[in-house]
Structure 1
Amino acid sequence: MKVLREAIIDGNVLEGYFRQYFEVLHRYAYTIIKDSDEAKDVVQNVFLQLWQRKNDIAIQQSVRSYLYTATHNTSLNSLRSSKTRSTHQQGAVAQTGYTGNVQEEIDSREIRKEILAALDHLPDKCRMIFYKNRFEEKSYAEIAAELDISVKTVEAQMGKALRILREVLSQWALVVLLLGSLINELGKVSCSI
């Protein structure tokens, strides 16, 4: 029987145990959780906690026994956390009547706010041209004709708008704006042009 404390002081030894036991511990966690990805996370967390607590741990049992016990307990904790999250989410759905993914709705609202705030950073002419192109879905030529400016000016203003928005927006919000997944919803919001 190997003493666990001696085994984990050396990172190479712990890595060896990780390689040796990961698959069997993953299968064991899966029998409890019934979710492969979550089971992998559980086993990784067991090894991470073991490494983080290596100086404080004083368990005199076999490595295998300790790892199975830790995996069992961490799996049960994971199940409890999932049930708690699910209960809270169901409560939020019951209160709001919203039947979709609550977190997605929150993220969508936050991104929408971020995009609208970022549009305020654009100069007036630039914002107007950007709005006409992205929200009204007008071509550069249509915008140029409507505003009595050249297509080159429209191109330059769009380039300027995108440059400013790249600096102001988070990476995710910029992707959303450029791909247009919230364009229709944003277009419904009145923008001061």
Structure 2
Amino acid sequence: MTDMLEKEILEQLFRKYYSDMYYLARTLLGEDKEAEDIVQDVFVQLMKRDIIPSEDKIRAYLMTSVHHGCLNIIRRTSLRKQIENLYPVDETTDLQPTDKLSEQLETIQSYIDSLEEPHHSIFRLRFDEDLTLKEIALRLNMNQNTVYKYLQQSILKIRSKLYR
């Protein structure tokens, strides 16, 4: 397919499906900006592909791509909020002496270090190397849902030690 023809087809697809894709993303995410980003990302990925799905499958492909993109954002946001809630910062935190804060960080670090495998590796890959759950699953040859469950269990274990 020539570049000009491909560009024309992509423009037609964009005009035809953008509003449905945006509506789905907006419904799932609740934010205009993120919804727009997801839809644009789907079209960028489609542009990078060598083959455009057939006409009878393109709508399903586009909507599924938007759905998966939204789920990835929801998972990342949920995980980030869980970590932020792991050790909430209160108004007095900034007023604590540096040695007290260092002590608290060392305590949290010791809890992380005490995690058993594969919890420890998964936690480190996610938060030290900033890998996605999918990347961790591929690296450790595990199912992505299993990686998520291990990470969730790790967070709960650390949280329970912090709030004894």
Report the TM-score range of the alignment, normalised by the length of the smaller protein: 0.3 to 0.5
Q: Give the TM-score, by structure 2 length.
A: 0.46
Quick check: which has more Rg, 1 or 2?
A: 1
Q: Give the TM-score, by structure 1 length.
A: 0.40
